[in-house]
Structure 1
Amino acid sequence: MGEIVSDDLADQLVSTCRTAVGDELRSVTYFDENEEEQLYLRGDLEADADLVGFADNERLGFHSQALYEETELGPYQFTMRVFDHGYLTRVIVGDHGAFVTTDAMEMDRFRELASAMGSVLEGE
């Protein structure tokens, strides 16, 4: 850890996500407009995901966040992507964000996860 994100922020994000979703947590990745860093990968998973590709796709959220800023929907909170074997949750605050992958779990837990991630990212 510590390449593009401080060890303190990395530890806070991982700890917060583990607390929010427990053993269903698969991975935590921090990103900004130019770089990404995987902060956590569960031990039973292989590190063969296209991290750069995932991050490039999630960076589109910087543009989306600006588009949604003045809508009647209210402020952007988080984005969820649903897959056959789990979920990806992305939170962007300002010029940085994080995405988390999880196993399947109850939908209510995603709001808790996104809120906790946003609080940590706002603190930076």
Structure 2
Amino acid sequence: MTVSSLTDELEDELISVCRTTIGDGLRSLTYFTANGHEQLYLRSDLERDADLERFVANERLGFTSQQTYGDSELGEYEFTIRVFEWGYVTRVIVGDHGVYVTTDPLPMDEFHEVATAIRTVLEGDDS
């Protein structure tokens, strides 16, 4: 489902910061809002048969989580990491849009680096 608020410039910038930060460990990159989503990048060695609707529905729960943790003594929400046997899902939400990336196993500091880069791009988007 294509997202109407996604500009070519935002798409290019998100792909660039994720590829620069993660390199060949980046498996996929998906942009989403409450009403739509678009997979922006899929590494060439991966199958295009993933159930994106299911993944996106789960990542959209982050919009509610932001409200839940909004006044927490932990500080402001930054990003979420989910750990799997063969890789990770990292989600960043800013306002009414978000991105999740799937990656091969990476050192923990690289997750913070990519989340910070994504957040900077999403915060700078005027959509």
Alignment TM class, shorter chain as reference: over 0.9
Check the 8 A contact 2:3/2:37 in 1, yes or no.
no
Q: TM-score, normalised by structure 2?
A: 0.94
Q: Which residue of 2 aligns with 1:32?
A: 33
Q: Which amino acid aligns with 2:117?
A: A
Q: What number of residue pairs does the alignment pair up?
A: 124
- Describe the superposition over 1:61-109 as per-residue Cα deviations: whole angstroms up to 9, x where unpaired: 0000011110100000000000011000000000000000000111110
Q: Which residue of 1 aligns with 2:108?
A: 107
Match of 2:43 in 1: 42
Structure 2 residues without counterparts, runs of 5 or longer: none
Matched residue SS, 1:114: helix
Moved over 4 A (4+): 1-4
Q: Distance in 2 between matches of 1:57 and 1:2?
A: 17
Aligned position for 1:90: 91
Give the aligned partner of residue 123 of structure 1. 124
User: Which residues of structure 1 form unaligned runs of 5+?
Assistant: none
Aligned 1:57-68 pairs, distance under 5 A: 57-68=58-69
Give the whole-Å Cα distance in 2 for the aligned partners of 1:47 and 1:32. 21
- Residue identity over aligned pairs, in percent, reads 60
SS of 2:75's equivalent in the other structure is coil
> Could you tell me how far apart the structure 2 residues matched to 1:42 and 1:4 are?
24
Establish whether residue 74 from structure 1 lines up as the match of residue 69 from structure 2: no
For 1:15, the aligned partner's letter is: S
Q: Is the 8 A contact 1:4 1:37 kept in 2?
A: no
Q: Secondary structure at the match of 1:70?
A: coil
Report the Cα offset of residue 2 of structure 1. Answer: 7.2
CA RMSD of aligned residues (A): 1.2
